[in-house]
Amino acid sequence: MKENDMVFGRNSILFQNMKFAVFVGMVMILIALTVSQSGMNEILITASLFSGIGNDAFLVISNVILFWVAYKKRCKSLFYMVLKVDAAVWTIVHLLKIIEFGDWALRPNGIPGGFPSGHTTHAFAMAFMLAVFYPRMSWLWYGSAVVISWSRIETSAHTGLQVTAGVVFGIGLAWFAVNNWLKQHDSFVLAERKMP
């Protein structure tokens, strides 16, 4: 395989992932801006599980999977890219949360620090990166991100606008990180798989 073919293949996979991410992101934004809380106790309990331990489990498992890829491929730079994305999400989200944007940035209960949803940002960033390396499992990665994002609205942790911002920041940040990482690592070959 020629180097130009490898670069085109990587760009094609990244582009396919971006298209799928934008599609799922748009679906989540539509859900976030149109669906209100159910008011049903059983659904609230389920949403609380996804918002808490479900989110934590997804982030730990996604990091372990990405670290495993880095270990298998003997690629320290991938390991560091994942750590940088984790740190960037945390830093950017927390810096934005301390800025007083106005009433629209408050959580539904009136407490400051609602904009953007950090759970959503991190879930979509991890889903994007996982889908780059395991595109056939994109439905699982993005499905998890959507459920985590929905749970933030159902539990009154965030408004639809705050979750929407999390979707955009998460996908954008992960795309930026992966795109730059791939440009610096021409020899890294991504799996030649089709997106669902």
Per residue of the chain (196 residues), give pLDDT as tens.
Answer: 444 444 445 667 788 889 999 999 999 999 999 988 888 999 999 999 999 999 999 999 999 999 999 999 888 889 999 999 999 999 999 999 999 888 888 888 888 888 999 999 999 999 999 999 898 899 999 999 999 999 999 999 999 999 999 999 999 999 999 998 888 875 565 555 555 5
Contact (CB, 8 A) for 154 and 38? yes
According to the model, what pLDDT value does residue 110 have? 84
According to the model, what pLDDT value does residue 7 have? 45
- Its pTM stands at 0.89
- Residue in this structure with the two tokens 């959507």, named with its chain if needed: 146
According to the model, what pLDDT value does residue 106 have? 85
CA distances from 50 to 4, 119, 132, 148, 158 (A): 43, 10, 24, 6, 14
Count other C-beta atoms under 10 Å from residue 125's C-beta.
29
Nearest of 41, 14, 43, 32 to residue 132 by alpha carbon? 14
According to the model, what pLDDT value does residue 141 have? 96
Q: Rounded to whole angstroms, how far apart are CA atoms 40 and 35?
A: 14
